[in-house]
């Protein structure tokens, strides 16, 4: 036996009201998203069966259940009876689709809240290629193989350049720096990308996003300046061969490499800090697979014209200006090569400059398309694939380009392998 109450004493005819309250209470369980424990008491002179009230009497059921209890206030047939109906629903049963029952519903609710806690706070959600799950599987394999090749190829170039004394020249000193930059660039992006591709979780913590932004921006900016320095090195080697050893001495080369690193780190600290301080008003969904500046700026909920101007100025100084200097350098190199009458000298000049020019084209061609294009295309698939190319594919191709097209590197590798076999 059970009755429902609403905090006031009702007459015998008031039990009809009790039934109506019970029906409303049962409906509330299905509609409310989250209900606190509610308890109401009605005093009636007669008892009302739970079945008559239309209540699913489930005793001490938990989430989604109704706890119904009966308490007598006195003896006799006319003694009022207090019946308590407790609506204990932390999650709407109908809304979540959980089965009506105590323990199973409670466990489902707990699991849902744990998932919400995992993506709460300041975590960013990298949507990436999540709208194309079949493509994600293919990209996972391609990116994994590319990353492994990047690690092996660039590590090999660093070791060969350091261990072979014949490669202790300015060109290979800068090439070692380039290989190290490619290792840092890929490692700051690819592991997180692979992690997000392998499962449904697409999140990255605020700290992780900040580290990725600072490192990738710093390394990318440094590479822009370093490729310009390498073009200058090739210009001196081809156009001023007699003065090469005098101009490109060890201390000067180290100073140039230091300038490249300082400019990259400085740009990263300035631009990255300004970008991370932009108010986002709870926007956490990045239409990208990494925390890149254009996509991060696009999350802001304030006027971003000033930030776009700053980004353009940084792009002008660290991307467009280096491209212009490289083109000028190779313009002089082409003029010098045309004047060379020896076929052997032609081939030597083309082999030393061709590798660098190919690397420059791959890196600057794709990165400039990302940072110069309008804001509206930041999150489009084309932009994602261009970013994927210069962050994943280019670091993989660099060691292949320099080893396959460079006789010095291939000769050094053979010497090292021969030494290992003899030892």
For residues 184 and 192, what is the distance between their CA atoms, to the nearest angstrom? Answer: 13
At 104, list the tokens.
């199973």
Question: What distance in Å separates the CA atoms of residue 392 and residue 190, rounded to the nearest whole number?
Answer: 7
pLDDT at 117: 45
pLDDT tens, per residue, the chain with 423 residues: 444 444 443 444 444 445 554 545 554 444 443 333 333 333 333 334 443 344 443 344 343 333 334 433 444 433 343 333 333 333 333 333 334 444 444 444 444 344 444 444 578 888 888 888 888 889 999 999 999 999 999 998 999 889 888 889 999 999 999 999 999 999 999 999 999 888 777 889 999 999 999 999 999 999 999 999 999 999 998 889 899 999 999 999 999 999 999 999 999 999 999 999 989 888 888 888 889 888 888 888 888 888 888 888 888 888 889 999 999 999 898 888 888 777 777 777 777 787 888 888 888 888 887 777 645 445 467 778 888 888 899 999 888 887 766 777 778 888 888 877 776
DSSP for 255-266, written as a single string: HHHHHHHHHHHH
C-alpha span between 277 and 406 (Å, rounded)? 45
For residue 395, count CB atoms less than 10 angstroms from its CB and return exposed for 0-12, middle for 13-18, buried for 19 or more. buried
**pLDDT at residue 404, as a whole number:** 66
Q: How far apart are CA 62 and CA 106, in angstroms?
A: 7
C-alpha distance from residue 273 to each of 51, 259, 294 (Å): 65, 21, 14
Q: Distance (Å, rounded) from C-alpha 397 to C-alpha 11?
A: 87
Q: What is the pLDDT of residue 68?
A: 39
- Mind listing the domains of the chain with CATH numbers? 12-118 (no CATH), 124-417 (1.20.1070.10)
In this predicted structure, what is the pLDDT of residue 152? 93
Tokens of 344: 């052997």
Alpha carbon distance 119, 284 (integer Å): 10
CA 397, CA 375: separation in Å to the nearest integer?
Answer: 29
Does the predicted TM-score (pTM) go above 0.75? no
């Amino acid at each position: 036996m059970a009755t429902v109450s609403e905090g006031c004493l009702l007459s015998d005819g008031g039990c009809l009201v009790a039934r109506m309250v019970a029906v409303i209470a049962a409906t509330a369980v299905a509609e409310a998203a989250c209900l606190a424990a509610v308890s109401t008491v009605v005093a009636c002179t007669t008892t009302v069966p739970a079945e008559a009230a239309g209540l699913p009497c489930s005793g001490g059921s938990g989430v989604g259940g109704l706890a119904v209890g009966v308490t007598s206030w006195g003896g006799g047939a006319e003694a009022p009876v207090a019946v308590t109906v407790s609506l204990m629903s932390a999650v709407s049963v109908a809304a979540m689709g959980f089965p009506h029952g105590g323990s199973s519903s409670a466990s489902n609710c707990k699991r849902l809240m744990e998932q919400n806690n995992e993506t709460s706070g300041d975590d960013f959600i990298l949507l990436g290629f999540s709208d194309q799950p079949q493509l994600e599987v293919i990209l996972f394999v391609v990116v994994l193989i590319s990353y492994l090749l990047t690690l092996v190829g660039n590590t090999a170039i660093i070791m060969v350049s350091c261990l072979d004394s014949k490669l202790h020249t300015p060109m290979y000193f800068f090439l070692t720096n380039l290989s190290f930059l490619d290792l840092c660039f890929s490692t700051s992006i690819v592991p997180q990308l692979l992690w997000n591709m392998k499962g449904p979780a697409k999140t990255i913590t605020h700290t992780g996003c900040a580290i990725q932004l600072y490192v990738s921006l710093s390394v990318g900016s440094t590479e822009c300046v370093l490729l310009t320095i390498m073009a200058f090195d090739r210009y001196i080697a081809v156009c001023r061969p007699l003065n090469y050893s005098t101009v490109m001495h060890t201390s000067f080369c180290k100073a140039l490499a230091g300038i490249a690193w300082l400019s990259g780190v400085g740009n990263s600290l300035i631009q990255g800090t300004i970008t991370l301080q932009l108010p986002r008003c709870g926007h956490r969904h990045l239409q990208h697979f990494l925390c890149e500046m254009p996509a991060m700026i696009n999350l802001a909920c304030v006027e971003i014209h000033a930030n776009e101007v700053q980004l353009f100025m940084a792009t002008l100084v660290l991307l467009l200006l280096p491209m212009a200097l490289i083109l000028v350098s190779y313009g002089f190199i082409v003029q010098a090569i045309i004047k060379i009458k020896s076929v052997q000298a032609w081939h030597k000049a083309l082999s030393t400059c061709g590798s660098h020019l190919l690397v420059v084209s791959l890196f600057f061609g794709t990165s400039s398309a990302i940072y110069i294009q309008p804001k509206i295309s930041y999150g489009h698939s084309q932009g994602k694939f261009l970013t994927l190319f210069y962050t994943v594919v280019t670091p993989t191709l660099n060691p292949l380009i320099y080893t396959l097209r460079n006789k010095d590197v291939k000769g050094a590798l053979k010497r090292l392998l021969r030494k290992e076999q003899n030892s």
